[in-house]
Structure 1
Amino acid sequence: MIYKRLLASVLTTLLFICTVSISFGQSTSQPFVYGDLLPDAPELAARGEYAVGVQTLDLINPNQLDILNYGKGGDSLYNRPLKVEIWYPATANSNELISYDEVMGQNGSPTRPLIPFTFLGRATRNAKPVYTEATFPLVIVSHGYTGSRYLMTYLTENLASKGYVVVAIDHTEATFRDAGGFQSTLLNRSLDDLFVLNEMARLGQDENSFLKGLVNSENTALIGYSMGGYGAVNVAGAGYSPQASQLFGAMSGGSKALLKRSAGNPEFKASIDPRIKVIVAFAPWGMQRGIWNAEGLAGIKIPSLFVSGSKDDISGYEDGTKAIYEGAVNSERYLLTYIDARHNTAPNPAPAEAYAAGLSIDEYLRYADSVWDMRRINNINQHFVTAFLGFYLKGNEDYKSYMDVNANPEAKEWPGFKPRTTVGLELDHKSANP
């Protein structure tokens, strides 16, 4: 039975690649890969000047609170493993195809068993990095619950080609493969982000690491989706509200640990890391649940780009992402809205295997949107994240005009967009309080 399923999976993948290739006038030798340009892609969605290399590292964050086993006897601490994927400017062939190994489903779910699949990208495994006189800014990418470090390869590869070192985290106990209790994500998301930042800084000084002389951790962006957005908003300075700790119920260890990340806590204030210059938060979860109040959101003092669907039914829009945007009064901030889209404004498109008969609809809806083409969303995200990071992280003034889409009320189109291709989009901007 398993061999029949694998054979069906392979045939489905080949059919999908051929169908997409024909649709865009490509031969099957050059399939459409996540992140490739649609005909209506905005200008900055195109890849940059660098070829892309990719490597996998296994990190260990020692002596962390084992929240999922807290109070069950034994040691309440554990060495927390974190697998990361790092994309970087390389000397390889920029058109080389790479296969990523992924799974659909969710660990422990009888209705959504884990199903392995592969998908293609454009990078070279373990390629020689490009070393220049200047190091490259660091971008940390954090997936949702559940997810993986491969959830946004259309963006991670794209940014690496534009001169960034991009590290995406597999958040332990929150991936498709090892999903555990939600308390782990609530507690560990921001802690994982900060630990990975410190590890990238350490490896950037390690003579035995390929990151030596390559990465500039002093100039870092944090990109998060859903629960990754929840962590990014906290790391940026938005301390949690007292109500947030109630999500742990009677689990006193978790409540106390989360209070350390709360607004007004001196330990949290001291943890705000000046190396993180900007955040991009896709559909950040938590505002509807009272995770932040006005005091907490006022703690964000770095530039922020928020992205959401106006019909987001997971994180909310008016009382979710938009409320965070409105409340971050001390941040120079933008809100990109996909009208009528729901929660999935960040992932890769659904894999071909998600189209197979008999699967739970959740496998398709884990990636797809019922209104928007995910490949189009991917291209638009590439464009605006490129402009946002290019201006605020690299200081390139040329990118500012791409963010100021409402600067000229008489303009028919937004800068960088082809005619008649901004329908369904809104981009709002607010300056930080003086």
Structure 2
Amino acid sequence: MTKLSATLYSIILSFTICQNLYSQSEFLVGDALPDAPELTYRGSYGVGVQTVDLIHEDQLNVLSIKNGMGKQYDRPITIEVWYPAIIPDNVEEIEIYTQVLGKNGTEDRPVTPFNFKGRALRNAVIVKDKGKFPLVILSHGYVGSRFLFTYLSENLASKGYVVVSIDHTDSTYKDAAHFTSTLVNRSLDQLFVLNEIERLSNQSSDSFLAEMVDTSNTGLVGYSMGGYGGLNTCGAGYSKEAVAFFKSMTGGSNALDQLAMDNESYRNSIDSRIKAFVALAPWGMTNGVWNEEGLANLKTPTLFVAGSEDDVSGYEDGIKSIYEGTVNSNRYLLTYINARHNVAPNPPVPATMKKGLHIDEYLRYADSVWDMRRINNVNQHFITAFFGIHLKGIDYTKYLNLKPNANTGNWEGFKPRTSIGMELLHSASKSE
């Protein structure tokens, strides 16, 4: 080959490579980056998605409380369900999610709709020849939405889970209301949705979920206020101080008493169907929500995920303190060094970066140090390992039994030189 022909060949080859790169599908929320760890990648199932509207009848309307008393109402709850699905030939597995920015239409943060793509097919037929699938429930923060973690919901559904994400009424971008509603309803919503999925999965149900969900094998994921509620759902009863604070906010309402550690009916009501819990930046410890007794009552295996500079939930005296206090849980703490509170959401999309928007619209989805796509990938990896162990009986322990400091060597499942800037602690349950 002459020098000229070799040069020409090189140019043609480079052009072909570039052409192939640009012809590939665009990067969507939840896709794996080149440096993604091993368990990040999607499973073998196609993914379907459907919206379900529920009604939690005869509930206290916390927003109606005056002088300690409130009215009852039928509380609406919307959920999004992702599941293993059959994707027909020549049909693109793409869903366009509709979301909003803002905070209940306030003057400086008006409700602003936007769309983003995901890898799922609306109303696809659920896979019916593989038995029942474990359930995973996702619970967002204040404020948030059921579409806050589509990177995780689609990913887990592709691996053989039915994944349900909750729109917590009074706590979404569209209907954000006084914080007292979130304080009471977060755990109640989580348990209600678990019971509703069990109802919809009964043999006599006409739902697409009939006979498809093993609710006795449930995982719960809670972010921020979702983590606050999830800790309570899994056994960490609220302190007397938390109950007293709520009463002071509501003129003497005892609505939070039902979830307090010193309430015997609460202690006897911990739901055994929940086999594993992922607490993403859980809120409350720096506000005295739990004491030693309450934290010790959490016995569910738990994966905590935190940023070392969390300025919302706190780290040393917040999330790490919860981790250290839940002595009867077999637990892990994954820490993103120098990250703040946003260790859970989807990455920012172009709509969050438009000129003139309140900075919080961007900061709901972004970290100022970490690439959120990277955090998403690492979360997918570790949550796959954690739920694989506890909900599917897969031996993924090698991905969790690691040297605490990622910088000291390559963590199992990570590509060379990519396990950096993180810490993973593990503490066994004292009760085992």
Same fold (TM over 0.5): yes
The one-letter code matched in structure 1 to 2:121 is T
**1:223-271 deviations in Å (ceiling 9; x for gaps):** 0000000011111100000011233243558741211101121111122
Q: Partners in 2 of 1:40 and 1:304 — Cα distance?
A: 26
5+ residue gaps, structure 2, are: 1-16
The one of 272, 280, 303 aligned to 1:274 = 272
For residue 148 of structure 1, the aligned residue among 137, 140, 145 is 145
Tell me the equivalent position of 1:42. 37
SS at the partner of 2:228?
helix
Instruction: Quote the RMSD (CA, aligned, Å).
Output: 2.2
Amino acid aligned to 2:351: E
CA shift for structure 1 position 415: 0.7
CA shift at 1:395, angstroms? Answer: 1.0
Residue equivalent to 1:426: 423
Change (3 A) 1:348 1:23: farther
Using the alignment, how far apart are the partners of 2:370 and 2:407 within structure 1?
Answer: 27
* Rg larger for: 2
Letter matched to residue 59 of structure 1: L
Cα deviation per residue 1:177-220 (whole Å; 9 max; x = unaligned)? 00011000000000000000000000010431111121111100
Moved more, 233-242 or 133-142: 133-142
The answer for the alignment partner of 2:11 in structure 1 is: none
State yes or no: 1:100 paired with 2:91: no
Residue 339 of structure 1 is aligned with which of 337, 340, 350? 337
Distance 2:247 2:72 in 1: 20
User: Are 2:259 and 1:261 equivalent residues in the alignment?
Assistant: yes
In structure 2, distance between residues paired with 1:337 and 1:179? 29
Aligned pair partner of 2:82 in 78, 87, 91: 87
Q: Which residue of 2 aligns with 1:56?
A: 51
Q: Render the CA deviation track for 1:284-332: whole Å, top value 9, x for unaligned.
A: 0000000000000001111000000000000000011100000000000
Distance 1:73 1:327 in 2: 32
Distance 1:41 1:265, change over 3 A: same
2:168 aligned partner:
171
1:183 maps onto 2:180 in alignment: yes
Normalising by the residue count of structure 1, what TM-score does the alignment of the two structures yield? 0.91
Aligned to 2:61: 66
Letter paired with 1:146: V
8 A Cα contact 1:183 1:254, kept in partner: no
SS of residue matched to 1:307: strand
Give 1:393 deviation, angstroms: 1.3
- What letter corresponds to residue 211 of structure 1 in structure 2? L
Whether contact under 8 Å (1:155, 1:378) holds in the other structure is yes
Partner of 1:199: 196
> Structure 1 unaligned runs (5+)?
1-21
Q: Which moved more, 1:142-151 or 1:106-115?
A: 106-115
SS at the partner of 1:354?
A: helix
Q: How many Å separate the matches in 2 of 1:173 and 1:150?
A: 16
Q: Distance in 2 between matches of 1:73 and 1:419?
A: 59
Q: Decide which of 340, 345, 348 is 2:346's aligned counterpart.
A: 348
Give the aligned residue type for 2:132. Answer: T
> What amino acid sits opposite 1:360 in the alignment?
H
Q: Is the 8 A contact 2:67 2:253 kept in 1?
A: no
Alignment length (residue pairs):
412
Q: Are the equivalent residues in 2 in contact too, given 1:245–1:254 (CA < 8 A)?
A: no
Measured in 1, the distance between the counterparts of 2:393 and 2:82 equals 22
| 1:414 alignment counterpart | 411
Out of 339, 360, 363, which is 1:362 matched to? 360
CA distance in 2 between partners of 1:302 and 1:343 (Å): 23
Is contact 1:67–1:253 with CA below 8 Å preserved after alignment? Answer: no
Q: After TM superposition, give the deviation of residue 74 of structure 1 in Å.
A: 10
Q: How does 1:13-24 map to 2 (within 5 A)?
A: none
